[in-house]
């Protein structure tokens, strides 16, 4: 009998706990060689082709494309030559189809000793244990296809087993279900199929699968359930047994559960179900970090409106100067972005209020002030929200900040950000104005202590020099960790940023 080996998702390194199935490279029933890639997975850091250390026939795949698989969970099962158990064949085990004798037990040891040589991190392939299954003691194997409920042995499942037998009888009468039931382990199936059968009281040993080598598929279980529902008159009721029972006192009437009392009739259109979207990959990691931030950090938010007209004029003046005098050493070759100007204002403000460039170590009960400003900025991508980090932002000018923002934004869109690009931030700048909104209460990027939010810059009525005028107005909001500072420090920082936005010449005092 072929030995069924289970290949589990190995440890892919760098502390990763799981991966997402992107594309299956093999089908059930396909022959695979040792070290042949069988599935392409995506972690939070890279795309990986996972090779299988066994050679044989693929009997099952676990997980659909797009599913999240934890490390150590089964990926596929492969049938290789050899017995299922080296300790000796279990009771009721099939004999060899060629010579009628059981295979030599040494073949199992050979199969386990065979190594692929392609060892992944933390996953040795030279001593993979076989997946063992034994026949349940005391359960005889049927010698002919099941065709009626009375031909199925009585089991502890009671009425469910009888209904199952009727369904299996109907399934086995079809041309594609004419194979005979045999001894040995239940054909390897998906955990979802096992759970579906268990919840509905189906004994998988009494079913004949329509997949390769008799593999039981989800469609087989659903067919059996539909057949059982039709046989039982749409409601599960006791079926007459082959021998009469001793008369008993009538049992008290049972109140059906709501799921049974209000179950829709067979053939009625099913009610729409809620859509469940798994939190995985980048979105799952961001969900964990934001939840931790809300749980651990006692945050507070303050905000202020600022007249950004002069800041926009200063940026336009830089652009015009570069266009009119391209040969001038002061012209530069990069168009300065508004985000770079705001980042330069932030670094100047953090130099005055270093409390906000810190984090809290609750284990040591200390506030850690960071000497360098590693400025993170929120970037929305197709894969979710990411926060790339500009290293040593306090040492960069507006041109350098513009270039680095452009590089990291492009890497975020193409999915080529490295772990170093996404870690180590000390303060975050969130420009949610690109979404066309004015204000927000940002969630601090744990373990940082503050985040500055910037809304859209739009023309609004504003009192300027004692007269009502239309000015370019922006709303600034600061969310801060109240453990590192009080409202006076947070308000002072926000006011300094607003003053620099309204009068960029203020920055000349600190350059």
Q: Which long-range contacts (CB under 8 A, 24 or more apart) does 283-290 make?
A: 283/383, 283/384, 283/385, 284/68, 285/44, 286/384, 286/385, 286/386, 289/445, 289/446, 290/443, 290/446
Q: What per-residue confidence (pLDDT) applies to 88? A: 42
Enter the DSSP assignment of 332.
Answer: -
Cis peptide leading into 65, omega within 30 of 0? no
d(CA 42, CA 415): 11
Task: Give the Cα separation of 68 and 78 in Å (integer).
Answer: 21
Q: The dihedral of CA 276, 278, 284, 286: what is its sign?
A: negative
Q: Model confidence over 215-234: pLDDT tens digits?
A: 788 788 888 888 877 665 54
User: What is the distance between the alpha carbons of residues 146 and 207, in angstroms, rounded to a whole number?
Assistant: 9
3-state secondary structure of 321: helix
**Cα 427 from Cα 378, distance rounded (Å):** 11
Question: CA angle, 311 as apex, 409 and 431 as ends, to 5°?
Answer: 35
Q: What is the b/e burial string over 124-137, where b = at least 16 CB atoms within 10 angstroms of the residue's CB?
A: ebeebebbeeebee
The SS3 of residue 432 is: helix
Rounded to whole angstroms, what are the CA distances from 308 to 187, 398, 459, 475? 70, 17, 10, 10
Q: Are 204 and 194 in contact (CB under 8 A)?
A: yes
Which of 101, 92, 138, 116 has its CA nearest to residue 32? 116
Whole-angstrom Cα distance, residue 256 to residue 246? 26
Do residues 334 and 399 touch, judged by C-beta distance below 8 A?
yes
Q: Can you tell me the distance from the alpha carbon of 427 to that of 431, in angstroms, rounded to the nearest whole number?
A: 13
Contacts of 339 (CB under 8 A, 6+ apart): 377, 401, 402, 405, 429, 431
Encode the chain (511 residues) as per-residue pLDDT tens digits: 568 899 998 876 555 677 888 889 999 989 999 889 999 887 765 567 888 888 899 999 998 888 888 888 999 999 987 554 444 444 334 333 334 334 344 444 444 444 444 445 434 444 444 444 444 444 444 444 444 433 434 433 443 444 444 444 444 444 444 344 444 556 645 666 777 887 888 887 778 888 777 778 878 888 888 887 766 554 444 444 444 444 444 444 444 444 444 555 566 677 888 998 888 777 777 788 889 999 999 999 999 999 999 999 999 988 888 888 877 777 766 789 999 999 999 999 999 999 999 999 999 999 999 999 999 998 888 777 889 999 999 999 999 999 999 999 998 888 888 878 888 999 999 999 888 999 888 899 999 999 999 999 999 999 999 999 999 999 999 999 999 999 999 999 999 999 999 999 888 876 6
* Residues assigned a catalytic role: 482
- CA nearest 410: which of 388, 393, 434? 388
Residues 6 or more apart whose CB falls under 8 angstroms from that of 415 comprise 381, 383
Contact 5, 15 (CB under 8 A): no
Task: With CA atoms as reference, report the closest residue to 23 among 1, 55, 57, 50.
Answer: 50
3-state secondary structure at position 21: strand
Whether 101 and 83 have beta carbons less than 8 Å apart is answered as no
- The 10s digit of each residue's pLDDT in 406-452 is 999 998 888 888 878 888 999 999 999 888 999 888 899 999 999 99
């Amino acid at each position: 009998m072929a030995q069924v080996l289970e290949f589990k998702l190995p440890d892919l390194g760098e502390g990763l706990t799981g991966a997402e199935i992107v594309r299956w490279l093999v089908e059930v029933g396909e022959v695979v060689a040792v070290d042949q890639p069988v599935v392409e997975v995506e972690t939070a850091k890279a795309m990986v082709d996972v090779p299988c250390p066994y050679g044989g026939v693929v009997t099952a795949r676990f997980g659909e494309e797009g599913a999240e698989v934890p490390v150590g969970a089964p990926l596929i099962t492969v049938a290789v030559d050899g017995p299922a158990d080296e300790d000796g064949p279990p009771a009721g085990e099939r004999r060899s189809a060629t010579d009628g004798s059981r295979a030599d037990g040494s073949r199992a040891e050979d199969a386990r000793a065979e190594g692929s040589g392609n060892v992944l991190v933390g996953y040795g392939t030279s001593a993979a244990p076989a997946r063992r299954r034994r026949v349940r003691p005391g359960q005889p194997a049927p010698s002919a296809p099941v065709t009626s409920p009375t031909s199925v042995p009585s089991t502890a499942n009671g009425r469910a087993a009888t209904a199952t037998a009727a369904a299996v009888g109907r399934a086995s009468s079809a041309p594609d279900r004419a194979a005979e039931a045999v001894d040995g382990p239940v054909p390897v199936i998906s955990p979802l199929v096992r759970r579906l059968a268990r919840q509905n009281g189906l004994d998988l040993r009494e079913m004949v699968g329509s997949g390769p080598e008799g593999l039981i598929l989800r469609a087989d279980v659903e067919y059996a359930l539909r057949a059982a529902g039709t046989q039982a008159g749409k409601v599960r009721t006791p079926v007459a047994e082959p021998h009469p029972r001793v008369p008993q006192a009538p049992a008290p009437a049972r109140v059906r559960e709501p799921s049974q009392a209000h179950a829709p009739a067979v053939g009625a259109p099913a009610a729409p179900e809620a859509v469940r979207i798994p939190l995985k990959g980048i979105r799952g990691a961001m969900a964990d970090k934001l939840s931790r931030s809300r749980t651990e950090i006692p945050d507070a938010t303050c905000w202020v409106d600022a007249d950004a007209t002069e800041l926009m004029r200063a940026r336009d003046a830089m652009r015009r100067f570069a266009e009119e005098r391209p040969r001038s050493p002061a012209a530069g070759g990069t168009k300065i972005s508004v985000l770079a100007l705001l980042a330069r204002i932030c670094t100047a403000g953090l130099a005055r209020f270093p409390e906000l460039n810190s984090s809290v170590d609750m284990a040591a009960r200390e506030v850690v002030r960071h000497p360098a400003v590693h400025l993170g900025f929120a970037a929305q991508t197709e894969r979710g929200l990411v926060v790339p980090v500009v290293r040593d932002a306090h040492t960069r000018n507006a041109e350098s900040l513009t270039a680095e923002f452009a590089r990291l934004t492009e890497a975020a869109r193409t999915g080529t950000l490295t772990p170093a690009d996404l870690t180590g931030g000390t303060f975050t700048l969130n420009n949610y104005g690109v979404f066309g909104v004015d204000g927000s209460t940002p969630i601090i990027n744990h373990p940082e202590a503050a985040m500055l939010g910037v809304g859209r810059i739009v023309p609004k009525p504003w009192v300027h020099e004692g007269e009502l005028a239309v000015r370019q107005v922006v709303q600034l909001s600061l969310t801060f960790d109240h453990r590192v500072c009080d409202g006076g420090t947070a308000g002072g920082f926000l006011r300094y940023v607003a003053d620099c936005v309204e009068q960029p010449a203020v920055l000349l005092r600190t350059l």
